[in-house]
Amino acid sequence: MKAYRVTGVAPFGSMRQQFSLDLPAADVNDAEHRTYSIMGSRHKANRRSIDIISVEEIDPRISTEPRVTDHFREEIAAAGGPISSSDEEE
């Protein structure tokens, strides 16, 4: 499993908004499928109304998403802990 960041546009109520979702998945297709599933269950959006713009593999240490930090807990600890973004350091 790898960590992926999926960005796209989905309907949230009466508006369409951009979203970014970090999640563990086996590959790019699995990450897209999980995104459709999560967005559909949270916001009652069907797959045709969700536009995925990009899916990119990320280092799990930069994510603050609980499902990513839980899944990669041992790898993050072995690598020396999470990496904070430059905005948080300033």
Domains in the chain: ranges and CATH: 2-81 (3.10.20.10)
Q: What is residue 89's predicted lDDT score, i.e. its pLDDT?
A: 45
Instruction: For the chain, count helices (H), then strands (E).
Output: 4, 3
CB count in 10 Å sphere of residue 63: 22
Which of 64, 60, 83 minimizes the C-alpha distance to 72?
60
Evaluate if residue 90 carries a pLDDT over 60: no
- pLDDT over 80 (residue 51): yes
pTM of the model: 0.85
* pLDDT at res. 65: 93
Tens digits of per-residue pLDDT, 22-42?
999 999 999 999 999 999 998
State both tokens at 13. Answer: 């109520």
